[in-house]
Chain A
Amino acid sequence: MELHELTVHELHEKLAGREVSAEELVSSFFSRINSLEPKLRAFLTITEEKALMRARETDKLGKYEGLDGIPFALKDIFCTRGIKTTCASKILENFVPTYDSTAGRRLEEQGGILLGKLNMDEFAMGSSTEHSAFYSTCNPWDLERVPGGSSGGSAAAVSAGETPFALGTDTGGSIRQPASYCGVVGLKPTYGRVSRWGVIAFASSLDQVGVFSKDVRDCAIVMSIIAGKDPLDSTSVELEVPDYSSFLDGNVRGMKIGYPREYFQQGVEESIKTAVMQALKKYEEMGAIIEEVSLPHSEYALPAYYLVAPAEASANLARFDGVRYGLRDFDAENVIDMFSRSRSQGFGNEVKRRIMLGTYALSSGYYDAYYLKALKVRRLIANDFEKVFNDYDLIVSPTAPSPAFKLGEQTGDPLTLYMNDILTVPVNMAGLPGMSIPCGLVNGLPVGMQLIGKAFDEGTLFKAAHAFEQNTDYHKMRPTLGVK
């Protein structure tokens, strides 16, 4: 097997066994990146020099513990000290943070080596990575298709073997949906499990940092490192972080799994339903108890989400005003024009649309009808999950209603695009952990299954996802990268 095909735990074995040096490993990933990027375009910034320097330092120390010598990449929404962080927006095209995100820093402290920054939809608003201000990323399984989004660069890079693992963020499905489209493991942890410090905010009450990896074990390894209280993030929770690897025992006997009937309606493609139902059968064979459940307010999650998230975004993105950093219009004669022109030149259409929508939903006269109403519906959605979790350990559903769509196919009507999030958004609204793992192929495209757990019970997700892997080979599928 080539190095780029290996998982984090396999690479670790090679390093620890002195079969390969960190420098050789990192170099091999850069050769992979350099050969694939012209057609894949998953990266926005490549930090080859810094990475090789760190690899050589690692080899000099000769210690290979934790993530020592293991390469990784970050969605370009994670601030990186001294390295451009653009959020795939023209407004931050030349922004160089003076600080690191907590999650990124923890990986580096454990010896991980940053390869570069990954493409995304501008400010994480989108489901296809076509809303990047710079370029679209292609799906490694079919270069004419989107990798999903907003963390499309992260999913594509892991899937194509450009990096062993990557971090992304998930506000309404931005990790799980691209993971599903690209056939990799994607975890959105419980809200509050991983620090958001240094991660450019989209919708603060929904955003959560998570992991893309080739298999569940890798995901558990990375989660054990990035999870946990951060004194710099008031919403990160003071709860002990278990060693997530300890959940990987392959045993789901007696586990109660519910599948919500609402998640198998609503325009979900038949082939996808079939793939997920087959996966559920697999669980049953493995000794789990499978039952249909109901989350009655599911259909209202999406309209509520498209009020709450833009409202928060309208405030979060107000700081991009051309004063302290970012794009600035120098011709404006007064400050109001300077603000308005800088922002209009700096933001793309989708971002403007959501800022407008959010501003409207919060504005005088509409707050109660839209924003407040959405917060009340959010409570109903959270209550739905709570009820089911009184009786069940896990909820399973499809991750996305369809496999990856074609580039340029869904750029017209925004509402159609928003429908891609219909199965992932409720999980963010309830703040729960959700994971997408590959569970099949439809016409040569990967299909993802979504596992939803109780708050702070990522352990059960790992347990169930790992057990599935032990009994299937979907996680070993690799994309063709356009080579037939």
Chain B
Amino acid sequence: MSKEFETVIGLEVHAELKTATKAFCSCTTTFGAEPNTQVCPVCSGFPGMLPVLNRKMVELAIRTGIALNSEIPEICKFDRKNYFYPDLPKAYQISQYDLPICQGGFLDIDVDGEQKRIGITRAHLEEDAGKLVHQGDITTTPFSLVDLNRSGVPLLEIVSEPEMRSAREARAYMEKLRSILLFAGVSDCKMQEGSLRCDANVSVRPVGQKEFGTRTETKNLNSFRSLERAIEYEVRRQIEAIEDGEKIVQETRTWDEEKQQTRSMRSKEEAHDYRYFPEPDLSPLKISREWIAAIASNMPELPVQARRRLVEEYALPEYDAAIITLSPDYLEFFDQCISIYNDAKIVSNWMMSELNRLLNQNNMEISDCRLKPADLAQLLKLIDDGSISGKMAKTVFEEMFKSGKKPELIIKEKGMALISDEATLISLIDGIIRNNTKVMEDYRNGKEKAFGFFVGQIMKVSKGQANPAVVNKLLKERLSQ
């Protein structure tokens, strides 16, 4: 990045709330059904249909507000956001305009070992639109098809302050927000399925300038990686444009994953005028302090609390604790391991190195993983009691990850167990001593190095499976006889 420019980033995140039914009707929200099979006249926008608000949706929003340190105002209401689009059945989206359910708030991110607080402007409830299916690209398709299964699914739109200064900070914010939403149990946060979506507002300005530069809004960021890359691209593009004397146009852009670039979504020039006005079909919400307290008292452990627990109870380094608390499933894995095998740092090392490497390689979530925490704990015990070497353990672990088999079984199947049986080892040792009487003499004459020679020979003959601790002990005994 050029030295003379500063990047300014704000994120708008849409989280699908984890409810069984849609925001304003009782249709199911299950993902992946046949088109138009999870719909009714309400979410299909038929004449005469009226919305009825889902209580769970409101409670999940309050829960999020608590987790994000937001203020939950006593009164909030819903508004209609008017625009025509084939996937928006009523031609208005029920949303919240001037009185959102969460106002203000913040979360803390860690970048390069430094903590930074990012402000949250607001979070408001709204309903999702349906899905448009194109033949190929939206710009070239001769027609589109509308599936309304997703129409009316409850969303919480969380808007950050423009306080991030790099793509890495934006990614850290997104990861942290995701972990909070996951811990609070308010969203599944599956970016691939679209239950967590992100739009990035990006601008640049010369260092020292007070006013913000003109910003663009980039959509279609459905992974952390694309978020980071899209912002990096957009920053580069904007700086180059400015250096070439061009003006940045305030516009909506989309991230093209294939070409790894953002491109303008401007089509027919059209004024955006959403004509918000209060939704007359829904009564306002009065959120009593008792209601908030009741929700707060049932709040699951949040990342910040879990992190403190790991540091205080297990003396884990902050860095380890931060990574383990990125998702509740990850923490759960750690907690289960630690209940069986009590060296937290070793568990943490294995999770952050081997486990993470395999998850990333396979593009998997820990919840999709066949490996059980109890089995990792067992593997660590096997290393400790010398049943297996640390090096072999990595091979066993890979197999455990792939097949979900128990470590003992893999060790047995692959014949990887160390030989600790003293009689077997003694006969092995005695054989080698017999064949190397000269070296034995050297050892007895005080040549320490000779001991190493014998160990090497034993390992070679046993194909590395002789238990080194036992070999050491027995070899000393035999050599001194």
**A contacts B directly (C-beta below 8 A):** yes
Point out residues on A near B: beta carbons under 8 Å. Answer: 78-79, 85, 87, 92, 95, 97-99, 101, 196-201, 203-205, 231-235, 311-312, 314-315, 318-321, 323-325, 335-336, 339, 359, 362-364, 367, 371
Known: A196-B50, A204-B281, A324-B46. 16 other contacts (CB 8 A): A85-B47, A92-B47, A95-B47, A97-B46, A97-B47, A99-B46, A99-B49, A198-B48, A201-B48, A205-B280, A234-B50, A235-B280, A314-B275, A318-B90, A319-B45, A359-B275
Q: What bracket does the count of chain B residues touching chain A fall in? A: 20 to 34
Q: How far is the CA of A359 from the CA of B83 in the complex (A)?
A: 11
Known: A234-B53, A315-B277, A363-B275. A324 touches B90 (CB 8 A): no
Q: How far is the CA of A243 from the CA of B46 in the complex (A)?
A: 34
Instruction: Name the contact of B48 in the complex, choosing from A199, A205, A359 (C-beta under 8 A).
Output: A199
Residues B84 and A321 in contact, CB atoms below 8 Å apart:
yes
Residues A362 and B46 in contact, CB atoms below 8 Å apart:
no
Pairs A–B under 8 Å by Cβ, sample size 21: A85-B47, A97-B47, A99-B41, A198-B48, A201-B48, A233-B52, A234-B282, A235-B281, A235-B283, A311-B277, A314-B82, A315-B82, A318-B84, A319-B45, A319-B47, A319-B91, A321-B84, A324-B46, A325-B46, A364-B275, A367-B277
Question: Counting chain A CB atoms within 10 Å of each CB, which of B80, B84, B276 scores highest?
Answer: B84
Residues B280 and A312 in contact, CB atoms below 8 Å apart:
yes
Instruction: Name the contact of A324 in the complex, choosing from B45, B50, B273 (C-beta under 8 A).
Output: B45
When distances are taken between beta carbons in the complex, the residues of chain B under 8 Å from A315 are: 80, 82, 90-92, 275, 277
Tell me how far the C-beta of A373 lies from the nearest C-beta in chain B, rounded to whole angstroms. Answer: 13
Point out residues on B near A: beta carbons under 8 Å. Answer: 41, 44-53, 80, 82, 84, 86, 89-92, 144, 146, 268, 273, 275-277, 280-283
Across the interface, name the chain B residue whose C-beta is closest to A338.
B86
Residues A324 and B281 in contact, CB atoms below 8 Å apart:
no
Q: How far is the CA of A363 from the CA of B80 in the complex (A)?
A: 13
Residues A234 and B283 in contact, CB atoms below 8 Å apart:
yes
Question: Counting chain A CB atoms within 10 Å of each CB, which of B51, B91, B144 scores highest?
Answer: B91
When distances are taken between beta carbons in the complex, the residues of chain B under 8 Å from A339 are: 84
When distances are taken between beta carbons in the complex, the residues of chain B under 8 Å from A364 are: 273, 275
Q: How far is the CA of A414 from the CA of B84 in the complex (A)?
A: 28
When distances are taken between beta carbons in the complex, the residues of chain B under 8 Å from A92 are: 47
Tell me how far the C-beta of B216 lies from the nearest C-beta in chain A, rounded to whole angstroms. Answer: 21
Known: A199-B48, A318-B82, A324-B45. A371 touches B277 (CB 8 A): yes
Residues A335 and B86 in contact, CB atoms below 8 Å apart:
yes
Residues B52 and A232 in contact, CB atoms below 8 Å apart:
yes
Residues B47 and A318 in contact, CB atoms below 8 Å apart:
no
Across the interface, name the chain A residue whose C-beta is closest to B282.
A234
Across the interface, name the chain B residue whose C-beta is closest to A323.
B86
Across the interface, name the chain A residue whose C-beta is closest to B279.
A204
Tell me how far the C-beta of A14 lies from the nearest C-beta in chain B, rounded to whole angstroms. Answer: 34
Instruction: Name the contact of B273 in the complex, choosing from A95, A198, A363 (C-beta under 8 A).
Output: A363
Residues B48 and A79 in contact, CB atoms below 8 Å apart:
yes
When distances are taken between beta carbons in the complex, the residues of chain A under 8 Å from B282 are: 234
Tell me how far the C-beta of B274 lies from the nearest C-beta in chain A, rounded to whole angstroms. Answer: 9
Q: How far is the CA of A359 from the CA of B271 in the complex (A)?
A: 13
Tell me how far the C-beta of B389 lies from the nearest C-beta in chain A, rounded to whole angstroms. Answer: 66
Tell me how far the C-beta of A88 lies from the nearest C-beta in chain B, rounded to whole angstroms. Answer: 13
Residues B91 and A318 in contact, CB atoms below 8 Å apart:
yes
When distances are taken between beta carbons in the complex, the residues of chain B under 8 Å from A201 are: 47-48, 281
When distances are taken between beta carbons in the complex, the residues of chain A under 8 Å from B276 are: 362
Known: A97-B47, A318-B90, A323-B146. A234 touches B84 (CB 8 A): no
